[in-house]
Every structure is written in structure tokens, then in C-alpha cells.
Amino acid sequence: MKNIFVIILLMILTGCATTQVLTNPEKPIVMRNIMQKEFDLLPAPNGKKVSVAVYNFADKTGQRKPSASIAQLSTAVTQGAESFLIKALQDVGQGQWFDVVERVGIENLTKERMIIRQMREAYEGAKAKPLAPMMFAGMIIEGAIVGYDSSVKSGGSAARLLGIGPQTQYSEDIVTISLRAISVNTGKVLVSVTVQKTIYSASDSLAVLKFIKDGTQAFEFESGLTVNEPGTLAVKAAIEAAVVELIKDGQKKGVWDYKEAYVPLE
């Protein structure tokens, strides 16, 4: 009777824990910049801001989400990485390095400018005020997510005494980012960098296996937690690191220079 009571109690506690996870969704949060210190450390350029354009930042991995049972149609990485690149270019060096012009939605932008021009001409005639000229870029920032290698490293450990013990497992993926700066005037690739970011997954569990009533009945209980580092956050971090490395490499090659000495992080 005592054993049955323990089993029922464990089932109740497990059910309560599951219900709590499902019925208490978290509030939306702003994605943090894990390279904020590095971004802030970069000194301003020795000159004006560099005007850059980002057309796309494609997923060229061809990878699908890993699954052991079924073929997944969802991709392993985000398809909207250009948003992270634009944000990183705007924020690096406390916003003192780049002026980013809109090119991802250039078709929508030109259509809207055409509508404004037509409406002004229709209602104001020949004296219609012209639109200001669009800002052009002196440099194009190109790149892509060029690699996603899943389960590069995996393993774990477990220990049990009298059928009771913990178990730990881990897995490691790697995402690779390529980024380059191209001169619009000459078409020359001025700087090119490649950055890798590791994505970790870990699982901890506790298992209990006991035989009761002279080994005729078995009691088994297992509880665990799996934590997967978000792949989108890893792509964002890799892009931010690539932007920082692009600036450092550009300084070494004489593409631009710092206004003051740069002291790298230890």
C-alpha cells in the first residue's frame, strides 16, 4: 500500500510540473547582444561613416532540422539573417561606423517613391516639389550562412546504484558565417572573413528502477530536462562576431583606420 501511495504522489507532482510549464508562457523579450562589450570597445573610424548596402544574407547550407525519426521540411537556420546583419552594422562601434541604406526592400521603396511623385504631380502640377535623391552606397556587404554541421560532437555519462542514478548527455553543432565587403566603385573584394559558432544541447535526467513484491512488480520513474541553445541566437551572435572581425581585418589591410588605438579583450 505504501509503494502504491509513493507512485501516485510522484505522478501527481510530475503532472503539476508539466501543467505549470504549459500554462505559464513567458513574455516576449528583446534578443540580447552577447557581443555588446566588443561592440562598445571598437573605437570610431578615422573619418566619416561608411555608407553600405545589404541586399541579402542567404542560407546556403541546404540543411534541414535534424530528426532521428522523420524527414523535416523546416530549415536548420533562419531565412531572415539579413535583419541581424543590418542591425549589427548599425550598432557596431556605438553606431559610429556604418550608414546602412535600404536594399532588401528596394522594390517596395521605389514603388512608394513613384506613388509620391505621381500624386504630387497630379495635385501640384509642374511646381510639384521633387523627392530628395536616394542615398547610394560606396560599399556592399555580402555574405551567407555557408555551413551547418549537426552532431559534430556528442556524448554523455551515467551512474546507477541499486537502479537509481543520474544521466547526462550533450551534443554540439557548428554554424559557419561568411562575410565580405565589396567596393562599388571597383568591384574589388576589400575584406573577407569567416566565423564559426558552436551550438550546444544538453540533457540531464534521473531514473529510478525498483522491483517490489519479491521481484514480481517493477516501479520505474524517470524525470529530465533538455536545454537546446537557440540556433537563431547562434546565427545572430556569429554575424555580430563577423562584423567585428570585418572591421579589424579592414584596419589591418588599410581599408579604414581607427580614430584611436584599439585594445582587444583579454
Taken in order of first residue, the domains within the chain and their CATH numbers are: 38-67+81-103+137-252 (3.40.50.10610)
Model pLDDT, residue 210: 72
| Band (52; pLDDT cuts 50, 70, 90) | very high
pTM for the structure as a whole? 0.76
Nearest to 195 by CA among 251, 234, 253, 230: 234
More reliable by pLDDT, 32 or 205: 205
Q: For residue 168, give the H/E element and its range.
A: strand 164-183
Crossing angle of helices 231-252 and 82-95, rounded to 10° = 50
Predicted confidence band at 226 (pLDDT cuts at 50, 70, 90)?
confident
Contacts with 8 (C-beta within 8 Å, 6 or more apart), sequence order? none
Q: Can you give the pLDDT at residue 121? A: 85
Best mean pLDDT range from 23-27, 42-46, 75-79, 215-219: 42-46
Dig out the grid coordinates for 121 from the structure: 504631380
- The three-state secondary structure class of 50 is strand
SS3 content of the chain, % helix, strand, coil (to 5): 30, 35, 35
Residue 30 pLDDT class (50, 70, 90 cuts): low
Q: What angle do CA 101, 88, 187 make, to 5 degrees?
A: 50
